[in-house]
Amino acid sequence: MPSLRFHIRFPEEKVKEPIIYQIGHEYKVVTNVRRADVRETTGWMDVELTGETSEIERAVEGLRKKGVLVDPIELNIVE
């Protein structure tokens, strides 16, 4: 099953929302936080999403609709 990594940046108004939790429940992907730095007013995470490629794409679009910035990490691993 493919695993892709993404760098996610949270604007201040989204920092306290459980967005990663929501994505794991709304889409058929497993979320794995690889690195993170979340503070009171800003935050970022490197997240690995595992699942079918089409479902990962849907989850990334869902993240963007929730108001976070999502960029692929170049060293993505596909298994």
pLDDT digits (tens, 9 = 90+) for 16-59: 999 999 999 999 999 999 999 999 899 999 999 999 999 999 99
Backbone angles phi, psi at 60, to 5 degrees: -65, -45
For residue 56, what is the domain's CATH number?
3.30.70.260
* Domain, as residue range, for 27: 3-72
- Is 79 part of any domain? no
* Domains: count for the chain: 1
pTM metric for this prediction:
0.87
Q: What is the pLDDT of residue 26?
A: 97
Burial class (CB in 10 A: 0-12, 13-18, 19+), 23: buried
Is residue 4 very low, low, confident or very high in pLDDT (cuts 50, 70, 90)?
A: very high
- Say whether 36 sits in a helix, a strand or coil: strand
Nearest to 6 by CA among 76, 72, 75: 72
- Is 34 part of any domain? yes
